Each structure stands twice: as structure tokens, then as C-alpha cells.
């Protein structure tokens, strides 16, 4: 009887010892919203890295820029990864969201693309140029056009410039405002278009090879992880940021995207 008791005790302790690492690695499951393309691809790698530290990430893909913040604010997501800081700032101001930046992630330099010309010098008077219709990406596109010498904006227009802020337009270019996600599909209908890199890549465009002009990657438009303000000190938030900004993820970005997407760390 005593021998059986000892054997049973040893077996129980062994089972407990085996289960201990599993319990130690057991952690929270969070939902992270992304847009399709590079953001989703990078998050798949982040998910694998986070799992090693007991954080299970469920990736939710969106097809536009509006819903991920609405879903985060309502509690349907725990975090999102798809936007740059100026866009989040505008959403917080305009919609009253209590959302904050958790960490910087990557930069997607915006490019100008065309199916009909190979250089901006070929643009004819009255040419149609598509830009995103949301305030921050629209302003970003106009600043890129200004950088290329095509237009001049009011000095105080800032990052949220609109077509109304154009004070010089020597070629009388027509600015066509469209939803950012729809612009690649409308490229054949305009003479040129300013396209966010994630949407360009989804459409099969290669920024380094296909863009006829491209943004300086060291600007203010670094992308971010966003969370609710109330969650900023949660342990899972630190794990998510650490997993994203890991050597494994940086190596993946450099190898996968060849400079079209740039890690911020």
C-alpha cells in the first residue's frame, strides 16, 4: 500500500512538473486588426513571435481605413496595426476615440504611379491626378506633389492640406479625391495617382520599380500599433510591442519587401 502511494505521488509530481511549462506559457488571446497586404503579412510573423511569450494573436483583416479604429474603440479589437500617427491623431480629434499609440512599427513611403506616363515631366496641362480622400493621406499626397514641383500649397497648410490649399498650379492639374483603397483600381482612369504603399503592393505594383516618384521614408508618417488608452499598461500590450519590434520581424521585413516597407527600429 505504501509503495503504491509513493509511486502515485511521484507520478502526480511528474505530471505537475510537465504541466508547469504549459501553464507558464498559457496567456491571453487578443484580437488585432490589420489591412490586407504587408500589414497582415507582418502581423503573421508577429503572431508567431508573440506565441513564444504566451500571447495568442487573432488577426482580423479589414479592407478600409475607417473600420479598424471604430472596431478598436468599441472593444471588438484589442489593437490595430495599419495607420500612421497623423491619421490616428485626426481620428481621435474628429471622432473622439480614446485611442493611443503603443509603438512605432514600419514606414510605407507613398508613391506616384501611372499607366500612361513614365515621368512627371510628361504630365500635360489639365492632367488628372488621384489622391486619397481622407485628410491625412490626402495631405500627404499633396505634399508629395509639392515636393515634386507640380503644385504649391499655402505655407500654413501643414500635414492636413486639401486641394483648397493649393495656391500655385501652373499645369492646372485636376486633383481627383478617391478612397485610398480604391485608387489602384482607378489608375487607368487618371493620368497619375498617389497610392499608399500597402494598397500599391496589393495591386501588384512594386514601389521601387513602378513608382515615378516616391516619398522620403524619414518623414512623419511612420505607422503604429494603436490600442485603447485604458489598456496601455496591460501586460499583453508590452508583449505585443516587443513581439512586433523583434529581430525576427525586422529580418522578415527586410527580406520580404526589399525596401518598400521600412522597419522603424
If we measure between CA atoms, which residue out of 102, 108, 89 comes closest to residue 35? 108
How many Cβ atoms from other residues are within 10 Å of residue 102's Cβ?
Answer: 22
Span 203-229, pLDDT tens digits: 999 998 999 999 987 788 999 999 999
Per-residue buried b or exposed e for 122-131, using 16+ beta carbons within 10 Å of the residue's own CB:
ebeeebebbb
The larger pLDDT score, comparing residue 39 to residue 6, is at 39
For 111-214, CATH number?
3.40.190.10
Span 108-159, pLDDT tens digits: 889 999 999 999 999 999 999 999 999 889 999 999 999 999 999 999 999 9
How would you classify residue 185: left for phi > 0, otherwise alpha for psi between -120 and 50, otherwise beta?
Answer: alpha
How many Cβ atoms from other residues are within 10 Å of residue 26's Cβ?
Answer: 10
What 8-state DSSP symbol labels residue 14? H
Q: Look at residue 85 and tell me whether its pLDDT is greater than 90.
A: yes
The pLDDT score that the predictor gives to residue 51 is 98
Q: Do domains 28-108+220-263 and 111-214 have the same CATH topology?
A: yes
The pLDDT score that the predictor gives to residue 27 is 76
Does the domain formed by 28-108+220-263 have CATH 3.40.1110.10?
no
pTM, 2 dp: 0.74
Q: Are 116 and 243 in contact (CB under 8 A)?
A: no
Region 93-98: mean pLDDT is 96
Domain coordinates in residue numbering, the chain = 28-108+220-263, 111-214
Span 150-176, pLDDT tens digits: 999 999 999 989 999 999 999 999 999
Amino acid at each position: 500500500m505504501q509503495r503504491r502511494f509513493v509511486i502515485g505521488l511521484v507520478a502526480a509530481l511528474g505530471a505537475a512538473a510537465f504541466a508547469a511549462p504549459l501553464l507558464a506559457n498559457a496567456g491571453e488571446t487578443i484580437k488585432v486588426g490589420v489591412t490586407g497586404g504587408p500589414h497582415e503579412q507582418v502581423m503573421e510573423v508577429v503572431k508567431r513571435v508573440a506565441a513564444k511569450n504566451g500571447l495568442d494573436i487573432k488577426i482580423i483583416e479589414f479592407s478600409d481605413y475607417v473600420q479598424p479604429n471604430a472596431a478598436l474603440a468599441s472593444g471588438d479589437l484589442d489593437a490595430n496595426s495599419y495607420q500612421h500617427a497623423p491619421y490616428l491623431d485626426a481620428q481621435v480629434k474628429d471622432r473622439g476615440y480614446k485611442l493611443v499609440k503603443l509603438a512605432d512599427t514600419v514606414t510605407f513611403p507613398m508613391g506616384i504611379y501611372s499607366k500612361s506616363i513614365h515621368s512627371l515631366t510628361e504630365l500635360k496641362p489639365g492632367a488628372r491626378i488621384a489622391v486619397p480622400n481622407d485628410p491625412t493621406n490626402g495631405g500627404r499626397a499633396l505634399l508629395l506633389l509639392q515636393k515634386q514641383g507640380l503644385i504649391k500649397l499655402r505655407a500654413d497648410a501643414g500635414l492636413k492640406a486639401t486641394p483648397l490649399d493649393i495656391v500655385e498650379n501652373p499645369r492646372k492639374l485636376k486633383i481627383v479625391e478617391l478612397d485610398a483603397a480604391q485608387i489602384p483600381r482607378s489608375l487607368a482612369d487618371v493620368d497619375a495617382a498617389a497610392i499608399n504603399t500597402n494598397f500599391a503592393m496589393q495591386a501588384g505594383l512594386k514601389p521601387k520599380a513602378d513608382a515615378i516618384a516616391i516619398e522620403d521614408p524619414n518623414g512623419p508618417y511612420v505607422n503604429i500599433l494603436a490600442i485603447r488608452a485604458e489598456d496601455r499598461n496591460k501586460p499583453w500590450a508590452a508583449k505585443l510591442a516587443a513581439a512586433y519590434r523583434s529581430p525576427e520581424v525586422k529580418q522578415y521585413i527586410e527580406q520580404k519587401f526589399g525596401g518598400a516597407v521600412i522597419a522603424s527600429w
